[in-house]
Amino acid sequence: MSLLTADSSQLLIGGELRPGGGGTFETVNPATEEVLGQAPDADSADLDAAIGAARTAFDDTDWSRDHAFRAHCLRQLRTALQADAEALREITIAEVGAPLMLTRGPQLEGPVDDLEYAAGLAESYAWETDLGTASPMGIKSSRVLRREAIGVVGAITPWNFPHQINFAKLGPALAAGNTVVLKPAPDTPWCATSVGAIIAEHTDIPPGVVNIITSSAHEIGSALTSDPRVDMISFTGSTATGRAVMTNAAATLKKTFLELGGKSAFVILDDADIAAAAGFAAFSVCVHAGQGCALTTRLLVPRAAYEQAIEAAAATMGGIRPGDPTKPGTICGPLISSAQRARVEHYLSLARAEGGRIVVGGGRPAGLDRGFFIEPTLIADLDNGATAAREEIFGPVLVVIPHDGDDDAIRIANDSPYGLSGSVWGTDPARIDHVTSRIRTGTLGVNGGIWYSADAPFGGYKQSGNGREMGVAGFEEYLETKLIATAG
Ligand code: NAD
């Protein structure tokens, strides 16, 4: 059965694929504006059943203690997803507007492949450490430190890289022995329900271990964050929503792991190849139409090379035509929705009103009358205090800002409520080290280095979140620590 049929878009609750109590809602192709089909709309009874099923699977089965079985299930899921890769690719391109070439990497195949890393951790992790004996208060005790699953994890995810983010939560959460209720974004329900169908029909993952709840309403996510049966919320999304998640979770003091927004800086030092670096920065902000939390959307260049950098960035951005994501050469597809395009356009008008110079782009591309496309846009003559330099736009928009040397570049890079990622370009290792050790972000690329990898922790400083996803650190987010002391 093709994963693209309406029948395969169902909720997954307690091991059963079933319709949503709230009926259905439309999922739309952002490149064509056509309705692709219907997704199940979960109501509060569905959420209640999903949390109940996850609770029972955690409390009443051996799932959390059977490390080898979990590794087997994760490998089985990976194999089944790989077998259906072409159907999943079609859904991902159609529903997310993700360019085809990205589905060979972080939009699909990369994160599916990375389930092996999670399976390997379930097998190889040191679940128990012998702390030896000690005699506190005169009682000789042998101590063992155990690491255990937290319990029921509520995973809430956005639409921009749905598989990457869903699997970066499901993989380590399951490998660590938790059960999960996944609530994906309303814009990309099929990316999640297709995975639910595969879990139900092609894996030994026990009923209730993974539950998938799609909903047109954000309230279902909100209810998940406040339910006392949920032990942890793993959230990726905007900083504003992350704040609401943390507030809601506070009543039951559940752990909140937050991956939030960014406004990362691309710092060019004066000994770098200015044109090459500026061209790279311009290209990277156009990938997936700029809908990436870690994209470097502020380009900080030496003041003496300001016009040279603008010229190089403009040449690159002017040469990138947004277009059909099904085409192999497309890197800049549509924005996810008309609402998101309106948001980007709002920021462009604010940039103009605040004195910004639109060097290239600034509007909707000619000749594309269907689809939520926006032109790659380069903005100059704003300082770091301007709205377009401070707030996350989530479109293919780059703001160029001059700096007066390495320390000034560090100051500007850090002058942001966010601290997610960044890039530094230069030739002198000592200067690069000076800058990378002072920029306060969770990841940094140097001269085009790529930090994204299954074994590399990713996450933010400041208001870009707390905790780390991926790597051993990302796995350990889903664990509790228990110390057992035995007398004698
Ligand atoms: P969003 O915050 O609007 O929504 C994210 C998810 O939260 C969705 O599933 C949504 O339904 C749900 N939600 C909304 N209100 C909620 C509430 N009150 N309680 C619980 N859940 C609620 O984000 P978005 O527009 O879907 O995605 C774009 C944002 O995600 C950007 O800000 C981007 O930077 C961020 N993002 C961050 C990372 C990261 O790893 N740091 C990765 C990708 C995207």
- The average confidence (pLDDT) of the chain is 97
Residues 34 and 144 in one domain: yes
Q: Indicate which residue of 16, 90, 95, 259 is catalytic.
A: 259
Quick one: average pLDDT of 144-170? Answer: 98
Residues 306 and 227 in one domain: no
- Residue 219 CA to ligand 1 center (angstroms) comes to 13
Residues 290 and 429 in one domain: yes
pLDDT for the residue 94: 98
Residues 81 and 95 in one domain: yes
Identify any residues that bridge with 155 across adjacent strands, giving them in sequence order: 182, 234
Residues 185 and 63 in one domain: yes
Residues 378 and 418 in one domain: yes
Quick one: average pLDDT of 93-111? Answer: 98
pLDDT for the residue 6: 47
Residues 251 and 273 in one domain: no
Residues 98 and 118 in one domain: yes
CB 419 within 8 A of CB 464: yes
Inside any domain, residue 459: no
pLDDT for the residue 1: 45
259-275 pLDDT, tens digit each: 999 999 999 999 999 99
Residues 109 and 250 in one domain: yes
pLDDT for the residue 7: 59
Domain containing 279 — which CATH number? Answer: 3.40.309.10
Residues 204 and 293 in one domain: no
Verify whether ligand 1 is closer than 6 Å to residue 466 (CB atom): no
- For the chain, the three-class secondary structure string (H helix, E strand, C coil) is CCCCCHHHCCEEECCEEECCCCCEEEEECCCCCCEEEEEECCCHHHHHHHHHHHHHHHHHCCCCCCHHHHHHHHHHHHHHHHHCHHHHHHHHHHHHCCCHHHHCCCCCHHHHHCHHHHHHHHHHCCCEEEEEEECHHHCCEEEEEEEEECCEEEEECCCCCHHHHHHHHHHHHHHCCCEEEEECCCCCHHHHHHHHHHHHHHCCCCCCCEEECCCCCCHHHHHHHHCCCCCEEEEECCHHHHHHHHHHHHCCCCEEEEECCCCEEEEECCCCCHHHHHHHHHHHCCHHHHCCCCCEEEEEEEHHHHHHHHHHHHHHHHCCCCCCCCCCCCCCCCCCCHHHHHHHHHHHHHHHHCCCEEEECCCCCCCCCCCCCCCCEEEECCCCCCHHHHCCCCCCEEEEEEECCHHHHHHHHHCCCEECCEEEECCCHHHHHHHHCCCCCCCCEECCCCCCCCCCCECCEECCEECCECHHHHHHCCEEEEEEEEEC
Inside any domain, residue 6: no
Closest atom of ligand 1 relative to the 161 alpha carbon: 43
pLDDT for the residue 8: 66
Inside any domain, residue 123: yes
Inside any domain, residue 3: no
Quick one: average pLDDT of 323-339? Answer: 98
Inside any domain, residue 212: yes
From the CA atom positions of the chain, what is the Rg in Å?
Answer: 23
Which residue owns the Cα nearest ligand 1 atom 36? 237
- Residue 179 CA to ligand 1 center (angstroms) comes to 21
- Residue 416 CA to ligand 1 center (angstroms) comes to 19
14-29 pLDDT, tens digit each: 999 999 999 999 999 9
Domain containing 124 — which CATH number? Answer: 3.40.605.10
Inside any domain, residue 460: no
Quick one: average pLDDT of 464-482? Answer: 98
Q: Domain count of the chain? A: 2
Instruction: Retrieve residue 337's tokens.
Output: 């929705």
393-449 pLDDT, tens digit each: 999 999 999 999 999 999 999 999 999 999 999 999 999 999 999 999 999 999 999
Inside any domain, residue 458: no
Quick one: average pLDDT of 210-222? Answer: 97
Quick one: average pLDDT of 374-395? Answer: 98
CA distances to 36, 217, 233, 483 from 212, rounded to whole Å, are 20, 14, 15, 33
Inside any domain, residue 359: yes
345: domain range?
Answer: 264-453
Residues 137 and 191 in one domain: yes
Residues 216 and 290 in one domain: no
Mutate to test the pocket of ligand 1, among 238, 295, 452 (most ligand atoms within 8 A of CB): 238
- Percent of the chain exceeding pLDDT 90 equals 98
